[in-house]
Amino acid sequence: MRAFYGTELANPLMLGTAQYPSPAILAQAFQASEAAVATVSLRREGADGAGNAFWQMIRKLGVHVLPNTAGCHTVKEAVTTAHMAREFFETPWIKLELIGHTDSLQPDVFQLVEAAKILSDEGFQVFPYTTEDLIVGERLLDAGCKVLMPWGAPIGSGRGLNNTYALRAMRAEFPDTPLVVDAGIGLPSHAAQAMELGFDAVLLNTAVARAGDPVLMAQAMAGAVEAGRLAHTADPIEPRDMAEASTPVIGKAFLS
């Protein structure tokens, strides 16, 4: 399994911590998913101390923590949030989100590259939420990123992988870079498909947190990413336009 900034994950599933019906269900969902990474937002930290209680709960999960800059729209805002997150969560990891479009929550890739360069130079280990654009991916790597996190579809949409051609091309273009499909996953089949394409991990939140039974969905996602990983490792057959008999014709008896 590929390492992320030198850290090998026991499981290729990364799970968000927002929108769950209760903290207890969140903890149960993480246990069922066996996720190795929890994404967290600094915005949960509040003056009333609720943020500290949330952080203590996350610590008890025993997983790697990936703070994010969710909701940031400018380089200054994202960089400032990253600094506060590093101090509060005590990790150099940061999921860099820089939103450019209000409705689709599509990343502002121009500001994303700028912020990634600043944070990388300051010692952050940046996980950039980006599009599947190959040029943007190259610019992010040049900026110091060692991981790319292209979206599958808009955040929370549950549409799956909107552009499998582009995602497959990104995997081929950056064979040695850890790639994570981030956002848009709605079903276990979507997660399995991402892993079948050769991606190294899947990051999702809404599909589990907003499901009728988050714990059961978390268990389903765990099985899906493992099935997809194994399928890719097994070197699956290529699709064909014509049928190919599984039973050989040679040696078959002919009746006159």
- The amino acid at residue 245 is A
Active site residue 95: yes
Q: Which of helix, strand or coil describes residue 234?
A: coil
Which one, of 129, 52, 132, 141, lies nearest residue 96 by Cα?
129
| Residues 210 and 19: beta-carbon distance below 8 Å | yes
Cα distances from 196 to residues 21, 110, 130, 227, in angstroms, run 31, 30, 20, 8
Please identify which of the residues 60, 95, 146, 252 carries the catalytic annotation. 95
Six token digits for residue 192:
């399995």
Residue 244 burial (CB < 10 Å; 0-12/13-18/19+)? exposed
Residues with Cβ within 8 Å of 195's Cβ and at least 6 positions away in sequence, in order, are 12, 202, 224, 225, 227, 228, 229, 231, 232
13 in Cβ contact with 30 (< 8 Å): no
Indicate which residues carry an active-site annotation: 95
